[in-house]
Amino acid sequence: ISHLFDCFEIGSKFRIENGQVTFTNRWYDTIVNDIYNFYHREMNDSSYFMSGTYSKSNEQKVDMWRANMSDNSKVPDVPHVSWWQIGNEAIAMSETPIGVVVDPNTVEQKGFVKYNDDSFGTSGSDRFQVTNNPAHEHTEKDGTLWSAISIMEFVSQTRMTVKRVVYKVGADKVRHVVGTYEHGVADLAKCIPGHPYPDFGSRFGYVHSFALTEHYIIVPEAAYMFDPCVYTHYDQYKPYFPQAFKFENSGYSRLLVMRKSDGVFIANITMPPFFVTHQLGSYEEGNLIHMDMLTYNDSGIYDRHTYVDNLLSENPYTTNVTRITINMSDFTARMRNLRGDVKAPAAFEMSNINYAYNGKKYTYGYMIRNFDRREQNAVTKLNVDTGEELEFLLPEGMYAQEPQFIPRPNAKSEDDGVVLSQGVDGRKHKAFLIIVDAKTMTLIGHVTAPDIALLGIHNRFFPLHVGTRQPAPGGPDTVVG
């Protein structure tokens, strides 16, 4: 395995209940783990035996295990990018519309999530290709979950329509299409070997996360553009993303603005090329929409810095904590640095906010400084109005993962609560959980687990009733993540 995004998944959980913390670490019951067990969990023997996102595969092993990976009697693997909650189910997600239900109490996979729909009108037909479902959703107070997806339909042997669909789903497990943006038609007869598709207009931009406000969904399509010509030369033994996406320095990024009430896309705003990973908060202010997100000048955070060799060496990436403001009167947009111009460049990732303020005016974001870098990690609190930063600095050798804000019961202010972050203690070879006061960013608690956990991508904290038949409690949620 040569890239972070291709690592084998393990289920790790800290449970917090009545002042006690317990830890569970479990390999999921999947086909991938069965194959890995065949090799006695020795990567030197197994190599990478399936198609990768960025990692190179062993062609012989891919062919050897192809039938096993296609066996429908068991889940091949559990997606390990992000977590959703639909109804009372916790769902492990990647960037396809296929998720696996995981019981957060037992850390066991329960099979693919079963939707009660026709897959966005495609009915599973081979003439449709469904991809780039952002890993990160938005969930409203009533449990309605919003997401988006790209759909390509072959209308002839060489011509395909390309569109971006925004949908919502609730406890009914029906993915209701709310709005559709038509990118255009790609003609694969225009493909030239060794060159990407020539028309930017028919290429959707990669989306890992998007913005939600009271009245709008804003999809920031990066200049990391999908190449329809991948269908003319795709090599199953080579990693998918380098074949399917290319950052176009001479291209552009898009902001697709959809009205939630009727699904109408009211704007397609083009901007100079940038790359987006994660969101902070977004809100409306009069005739303006403010969206705060982590941006980069290119796609290096994916296609350079997160290769394993780079994670373990000097790995200097710089994050822009960016506010994009859309003027709804003329549909223009501008960008500015929320940290101000006097602070030294820094690497931040895995941003979160107090989710009670999602889609509303907010003040504070929480991030990990030097995420997945060997440099000293910190949990950082950013005041997006003033640029002020407070940090809890971890000791050298402790590597923090995504921070989660948990409000205090009956909280009186936005930062009245705690920030939880799990991670790996490289000194002790153990997992840890830290509890930080969100107002002062001082340490309240530090738990060392009896076992090591793997460096991951995202986590989530669920109320204890999720994954059970119990109804949501009337009082404050106890969390498990």
Residue 138, annotated as binding a ligand: no
Asked if 283 and 213 touch (Cβ cutoff 8 Å), the reply is yes
Residue 115: count other Cβ atoms within 10 Å of its Cβ: 17
d(C-alpha 230, C-alpha 191), whole Å: 9
d(C-alpha 44, C-alpha 42), whole Å: 5
Starting at the edge strand found earlier in the chain, the sheet holding 20-26 runs 20-26, 11-17, 479-480, 462-463
Residue written as tokens 């030197």? Answer: 44
Backbone angles phi, psi at 24, to 5 degrees: -130, 135
Here the tokens at position 283 are 């809100």
Residue 278, annotated as binding a ligand: yes
∠ CA 90-96-101, nearest 5°, is 20
Residues near 259 by beta carbon (within 8 Å), at least 6 away in sequence: 179, 215, 216, 265, 266
Residue 136, annotated as binding a ligand: yes
Reduced to 3 states (helix: H, G, I; strand: E, B; else coil), residue 31 is helix
Which amino acid is residue 12, in one-letter code? S
Here the tokens at position 103 are 């019981």
Which amino acid is residue 94, in one-letter code? S
Backbone angles phi, psi at 230, to 5 degrees: -60, -25
Q: Hey, what long-range contacts does 349-353 have (CB within 8 A, 24 or more apart)?
A: 349/277, 349/278, 349/294, 349/301, 349/319, 350/278, 350/401, 350/402, 350/403, 350/458, 351/278, 351/279, 351/280, 351/293, 351/294, 351/321, 352/280, 352/402, 352/403, 352/404, 352/405, 353/280, 353/281, 353/405
Residues near 112 by beta carbon (within 8 Å), at least 6 away in sequence: 75, 98, 99, 100, 101
Helices (H) and strands (E) in the chain, counts: 8, 32
Residue 458, annotated as binding a ligand: yes
For residue 146, the surrounding DSSP H or E stretch is strand 145-154
Asked if 229 and 188 touch (Cβ cutoff 8 Å), the reply is yes
- Binding site for Fe cation, by residue number, is 136, 208, 278, 458
| Residues annotated in a binding site | 136, 208, 278, 458
